[in-house]
A and B are shown apart, each in its own frame.
Chain A
Amino acid sequence: MTTALPAARRGGVRAAEKSTDRAARPGVLWVVPAALFFMVFAGLPLLLVAVLSFTSWNGLGTPRFNGLDNWSRLLSDSSVWQSLRISAILTVLCWAVQTPLALLLGVWAAGRQRNRAVLSSIFFLPLLMSTAAIAITWLTLLDPNFGLAAKWGHYIGFPDGNIIGSPRGALGCVVVVVAWQFVPFHTLLYQAATRQIPQSLYDAATVDGAGRVRQFRHITLPQLRNTIVTSSVLMLVGSLTYFETVLILTGGGPGSATNILPQHMYMTAFRDYQMGYASVIALALVALGTALSLLIVRFSGFAKMRSTLEGI
């Protein structure tokens, strides 16, 4: 052991020296655990879903192949297109509400003052709660006769407290609850990223006479660009798979006003037991999610991975 260790260390040093030109990237072996995990729990199921999408199966017995029936049904199914529209609206609204909130809160929480540390640990509390608990608590608040909706409804245009029971109100409720739950997570991202910005930049800006707002616009925001992209990708792609809040809060209602595409997929699979058709919707979601993240990465220049600290 005592002799083997230095030898191994020497070997390691030599290997590291050899690969300095390749920036000491770890070998293929390192990818194996993650790749295996991904294949078993994501790749394989995805493949099976692709096979299922060409079958008719109600979850019992053997799936029966029915060619392109499910796919042609997708194209002519108006409820899917309506769900897609609702999903798009909800995604944009969620992004537009969460990003500014999380950005401002995160930058604020990055300060080292003690009161900020205390307050931000309170802000992060929703992150610890289960989605179901959050949704059920909000349901109680939204009761139009006894909840907060009864008292405050008329301030926001719902005099009878009928917020979650009206199509627009229900969509708004979902946006608010999702934001309440996930803003803390994105705040955390921004807080961490803001703390990585070198103090010297701010010092220089102060010397040049830049105020707080200008420092935020010309230093903080550009320095956070990669984080904004990351956070946005998580939000946008996440909104294509996330539906627990909708399931518990509105069940897709009233009518089908909040029936987003993931909820539609879930209902098709586990309420209607049309596994084949649900698989088609699932694949459509996969395609959408991939396209969306590729688009964002492409147009934001994120793929080039340029450091925001060049020249410092």
Chain B
Amino acid sequence: MGETPLSRRTFLSAAAITGLSAPLLSACGTSGPAGAKGGGKTVQAWVLVDEAQNRVQNVAIDDFNKGSSGKVKLLPISSDGAVYADKLRVSMGSPNPPDLLFNWGAGSIRNYVQAGGLVDLSSQLNADTTWKNSFLPSVLNAGQIDGKYYGIPMRGMQPVVLFYNKTLFAEQGQKPPATYDDLLKLVDFFKGKKIQPFALGGLDQWPELMWLEYLVERAGGPTVFQNIAAGRPGAWRDPAIATALSQIQDLVRRGAFGTNFNSVNYVNDGAGLLFAKGKAAMHLMGTWEVSNQVERHRKFAETDLGFAPFPSVADGKGDPNAVVGNPTNYFSVSTKSVDKDAAIAFLKKEMAAPAYVDALIKSGDVPAVTGIDAKLSASPQPEFARYVYQLVQKAPSFTLSWDQALMPQFKTPLLANLQKVFSGKQTPQQFVTALESVK
């Protein structure tokens, strides 16, 4: 009896101490970078933690610091986008925000713009047309807020693409769908062969949103969502929304996603594995699916992974070349920056600089920079990189993922109600009513 309670007590107190100190430590981590500022003119650039990307960003920073009195310092904050957004939020509300901040444009920075926290870069861009023209217009414009530029593209483009298993398609004598009717035929065909037509990570909710985004874009064009994002009254009642939602319900009823898609995750490779094992024929996903598959199922990625645009929809008002997804990530400059000029000079000098673009391409990204067709052969997936580059180049519009474009309070209701539509627990009309009531 003697020694057991003692060891248990030490164990318990150890657990209590680690439990208690963990939040304190992480709190120190948040306040650290902001507090470490002051003295000298060093500009802090907040970015996501990503080993490959951070190395590329340091290429640009080293080059800039060599020829400038104002210095830039990289501060990787967190590898989790949601955690990064939370920490950025706290920091932006404090007197010491980061000078340069990595962001997703649109909804992710709209509040900061409204609070006067970000520098309007429009005049700088318009005065320096060489700088402005060095970025693909659809991507640069996707980062606009109320017609003004607050962000400079700083990473690769991530449109949503229809991936398919080309080996499986060849075996079955099928072609990727050019029209929505083709897509429906493929659904019935693969269902007959006991292969799930589409992999879908419904547990994570956001993969379902990609279907709504593309179907709305095809049915009604980019203005449908622009009206929603601008908060115009009745925007959710646009017939394109109801059409897209009914198409989704029809796809679910036809078994396009199997029956258990709401239990399948994307983040932990649930949907990716289904696709890689040939148990699902197609997968609608952002371009990061390629690096995921290369990392997790290299053989599949090299021999079987095919890609196609989302099919056109007959009678739809949208341009079949339009794309949705994440145009890119942006760097924005904070108005409270210790050295705004140095921060802007950095963006001007480096964001389209050959060395930075080359490093991005080598890391697998497809930068939103004009005239880089020839350079893309240096990409680890040159064929896919060129495909993405051309896809975005000829796209008349690039709609940002809705959950990022909308004001934050829409995110939860949007994803939860859409999931209810996918599970057949809600009608399109109920979805529209639910989203109209979000305040």
Contact = CB atoms under 8 A, between A and B. Distances in A.
A108 to B, nearest CB: 16
A126 interface: no
B411 interface: yes
A145 B425 contact: no
B374 interface: no
Interface string A121-151: 0000001100000001001101111100100
Contacts of A244: none
Contacts of B423: 165-166, 254-255
B263 A255 contact: no
Given A146-B273, A273-B89, A165 B416 contact: no
B80 to A, nearest CB: 11
Contact of B205 (A163, A251, A270): A251
Interface stretch (B264-272, B282-290, B342-350, B388-396): B264-272
Given A60-B93, A254-B419, A270-B86, A162 B263 contact: yes
Contacts of A162: 259-260, 262-263
Contacts of A61: 93, 115
B352 interface: no
Nearest to B115: A60
Interface of A: 58-61, 117, 127-128, 136, 139-140, 142-146, 149, 160-166, 169, 188, 192, 195, 250-256, 259, 267, 270-274
Contacts of A169: 263
14 contacts: A60-B112, A117-B4, A136-B268, A139-B265, A143-B263, A165-B264, A166-B262, A166-B423, A251-B203, A251-B205, A254-B202, A254-B262, A273-B111, A273-B408
Contacts of A267: 412
A252 B412 CA distance: 9
Among B261, B264, B273, B417, the one with the most A-chain Cβ atoms within 10 Å of its Cβ is: B264
B259, B263, B420: residue with the most chain A Cβ atoms closer than 10 Å: B263
Given A160-B260, A169-B263, 5 more contacts: A140-B268, A251-B205, A255-B417, A255-B426, A273-B408
Contacts of B268: 136, 139-140, 143
Interface of B: 1, 4-5, 8, 15, 86, 89-90, 92-93, 111-112, 115, 117, 202-205, 258-265, 268, 270, 273-274, 279, 408-409, 411-412, 415-417, 419-420, 423, 425-426
A146 B263 CA distance: 11
A271 B408 contact: yes
A255 B409 contact: no
Best-surrounded residue of A146, A195, A250, A271 (most CB of chain B within 10 A)? A271
Nearest to B261: A165
Contacts of A58: 111, 408
A90 to B, nearest CB: 17
A117 B7 CA distance: 13
Nearest to A142: B263
A198 to B, nearest CB: 14
Contacts of A255: 416-417, 419-420, 423, 425-426
Contacts of A195: 1
B15 A253 contact: no
Nearest to B5: A192
Contacts, number: 112
A164 B203 contact: yes
Identify the interface centre among A143, A163, A259: most chain B CB within 10 Å of its CB: A143
A188 B1 CA distance: 15
Nearest to A57: B93
B262 A272 contact: no
Query: Which 9 pairs from chain A and chain B are nearest by CB?
Result: A165-B262, A165-B263, A162-B260, A272-B409, A144-B260, A255-B420, A144-B263, A160-B260, A60-B115
Given A160-B258, A188-B8, A253 B205 contact: yes
Given A61-B115, A160-B258, A273-B89, A253 B408 contact: no
Given A146-B270, A255-B417, A270-B86, A165 B111 contact: no
Given A255-B423, A273-B408, A273-B409, A161 B260 contact: yes
B133 to A, nearest CB: 33
Contacts of A254: 202-203, 262, 419-420, 423
Contact of A165 (B89, B203, B412): B203
Nearest to A61: B115
A169 B1 CA distance: 43
A185 B65 CA distance: 54
A271 B411 contact: yes
A135 to B, nearest CB: 11
B339 to A, nearest CB: 22
Contacts of B112: 60
A114 to B, nearest CB: 12
Contact of A271 (B115, B261, B412, B425): B412
A37 to B, nearest CB: 10
A193 to B, nearest CB: 12
A255 B419 CA distance: 5
A267 B409 CA distance: 9
B338 to A, nearest CB: 20
